[in-house]
Amino acid sequence: MNRRDFLKVPAAAVFPYIARPTVLGANDRVTLGFIGVGNRARWMLKNEDFGFGRVVAMADIWPQSFAETIKVRPDASAWTQYSDYRRMFDKEKLDAVFVETPTHPRVLVSIHAIQAGLDVYAEKPLTLTVEEGRVLTKFVRRHKRVLQTGTQQRSMPINRYANSL
C-alpha cells in the first residue's frame, strides 16, 4: 500500500495497528521453535526480545545443548526438546523457526521448515554457495513463506571502524 492509498483508509481501520492491545489474543502471538541451540542461539535467547513471539520448542542433535540453554534461559525447561527437528515440525503448532545450525546444514533445514509451512530466520552466512541460495530462493517463493537472515554485525562499532579504514 502506498502513502496516498493509506491516507484514504478510514482512521478506524488503522487504529488497531497503532494502538496494539496490552492483552494479546491467540492470533496476535507468534509461536517459535529453535533449531540448533548452540552458542549463537543461546546468546539470542538471553539477549534478544522476541516481541510477540513465544518460544515453545527447541531441537538439537547434542543433548547437552538443552541443559546449557536452560542455564541461560530458565523458562526453556518448559520447552519441548527434540533431537530431530522434523519431529518438532510434526508435533508443534509453530509459526516460525530460528535456524541456528552450523552453515553446512542450514539450507536443507530451512527448506524443510519452508516445506512444513513455516517462516524462517536463519543465521549468516545463509548458504555456502550461490547455487544453494538460488535453490532456497525458489523454495521461499514457491511456498510463499518469509525468510530472513541476520546481518547484525555490520552495525557493530568495531566493524564500522574496520570498514572506515
DSSP 35-70: E--SHHHHHHHHH---TTEEEEEEE-S-HHHHHHHH
Whole-number Å distance between alpha carbons of 51 and 8: 30
Is 101 a residue whose pLDDT tops 60?
yes
The per-residue pLDDT for range 44-77, each reduced to its tens digit, is: 999 888 888 999 999 999 999 999 999 999 999 9
The predicted model gives 98-110 an average pLDDT of 95
Query: In terms of C-beta density within 10 A (0-12 exposed, 13-18 middle, 19 or more buried), how is residue 52 classed?
Result: exposed
